[in-house]
Structure 1
């Protein structure tokens, strides 16, 4: 039985980068599979409909060409339907691809994926589950979620710089709040600026907010930043890019399989996608997703 794959293209990803490289990516992948369907969609609804149609015809591997938003939609479909996921990053963040060790350049990523397809390399990775939504990278609430919302609304600049500017803008408006966090090991509470629940280390285009998170240990790595004040929080920001923030006195880290976050109407984002407001519950589901990639 042959290997049936579909290439889901989100033309707007990376300010049109996905559309520009789609044909070249497809040409590189076709020799590695027996069948490759091209699924081009401009909306989530259209994308899901095309994925369902392809699945009905015997889909084995869904390959997503796009950024983290596109990858998030691919994760939803693949986890729910038992289909393997391949990624060719072409967005502005690409945090899930980064966590899996996939090259940032779309052509290099395509060549690596083609080799993995031909060799039959597969990995099982964990996913987070919040309500009806799967997430592969980080669920966040509080300051960082507010930054995510602001960054999504900005049209300039592209890439990580947009996230950095959103951080600075949000500093002027955000206030720490009391939260209660229920974990496997008890309850934490206090004045807090943000909580990040990591299945993988990165969000915001490469910020290792949960630097030790790995997607195959059955646990979340959780980072909680207290209420250090604007000036100290601002001084902490450069350390976020290196992962050194976890050593600051106002930062607490721990691991848990389940948690519930109770806070006064904080925004919640997962994989950079809006998930409403707190309270929010999440659980780490071991080996929930198959990805086409060599072992780390």
Structure 2
């Protein structure tokens, strides 16, 4: 089997030693090429070329952003049975996608499970989401959570590490500084066959669970989301302090129940919907900030990607 290992050398927990050890282990079972990414978007370029070259498997060693780029490169012309399969070795700070597939967060352990799956011929076809034309694996967001991601990326560019503490501090600072936006949200939800819902402050779109992790603690705004169904949405029309703390406790809870309350808007197993903004607001997909948008249409695409698990 011909395989390409795409390595993000700047991923939080990836090192040359890790790369070499894993490449050596994988090369025993695969005809393997190893390429490191050099700039943002490079993983997508490598994956697109791998598909054109008839490679059987693309393995991503990096964080969620690296895997997202690989998926977008492979799916540049849409899903097809002939596309390479995808495998993931976690090398980032959070690794939501890998962990949502049941992989351990340790790259050596994950490589061992990957080799077992390859030898047993195990794979799974999963549904993905589209935010306009950008594919996402597990989540997207418009509004508050994307603005927090933007702040974290800005701090990372200044040399800060992407730790759970950095996300928590950024979220708290943004929450305390944006009172007007939390009371009068700029977003309107449009779903075919439903009346529009305005005044939304926060829109989290999930393709699976969890939305993210706080260290080892899963956060589940949409606990019914699944790779085998359409998209789920958790939205808030108001983010005042006490109700928001209550919703956060529900998201952190282990009951499996969806957050509920007077200001909660939720969708489950939805084929498509649109979030429109009165003014440009931030968009994130799989934890990467994609700039500001006035309108984004989200669509669920079943059986879009084959993964080795």
TM-score by length of 1: 0.89
Whether the 8 Å CA contact 2:247–2:259 is kept in 1: the answer is no
Write out per-residue CA displacement over residues 205-245 of structure 1, whole angstroms, 9 at most, x where no aligned residue: 4432322210112x111111220413432454344333767
Post-superposition shift, 1:185? 4.1
The corresponding residue for 2:80 is: none
Separation (CA, whole Å) in 1 of partners of 2:236 and 2:115: 41
The corresponding residue for 1:288 is: 304
The corresponding residue for 2:237 is: 226
Distance 1:184 1:63, change over 3 A: same
The corresponding residue for 1:106 is: 107
The corresponding residue for 1:215 is: 227
1:21 counterpart = 2:18: yes
Separation (CA, whole Å) in 2 of partners of 1:75 and 1:18: 23
Post-superposition shift, 1:53? 4.2
Separation (CA, whole Å) in 1 of partners of 2:54 and 2:15: 25
Whether the 8 Å CA contact 2:44–2:74 is kept in 1: the answer is no
Instruction: Give 5+ residue unaligned stretches, structure 2.
Output: 78-82
Separation (CA, whole Å) in 2 of partners of 1:187 and 1:159: 40
Post-superposition shift, 1:56? 4.2
TM-score by length of 2: 0.85
| SS at 2:33 equivalent | strand
Separation (CA, whole Å) in 1 of partners of 2:17 and 2:260: 42
1:80 pairs with one of 70, 76, 79: 76
| SS at 1:44 equivalent | coil
Write out per-residue CA displacement over residues 122-152 of structure 1, whole angstroms, 9 at most, x where no aligned residue: 1110111122211111111111111111122
Q: Alpha carbon RMSD of aligned pairs, Å?
A: 2.1
Whether the 8 Å CA contact 1:148–1:204 is kept in 2: the answer is no
The corresponding residue for 1:129 is: 130
Distance 1:113 1:184, change over 3 A: farther
Runs of 4+ in 1 over 6 A off after TM superposition: none
The corresponding residue for 1:254 is: 267
Separation (CA, whole Å) in 1 of partners of 2:144 and 2:105: 28
Separation (CA, whole Å) in 2 of partners of 1:185 and 1:240: 28
Post-superposition shift, 1:104? 0.8
Whether the 8 Å CA contact 1:147–1:170 is kept in 2: the answer is yes
The corresponding residue for 2:294 is: 278
The corresponding residue for 1:268 is: 283
The corresponding residue for 1:62 is: 58
Distance 1:5 1:167, change over 3 A: same
Separation (CA, whole Å) in 2 of partners of 1:66 and 1:18: 10
Distance 1:64 1:13, change over 3 A: same
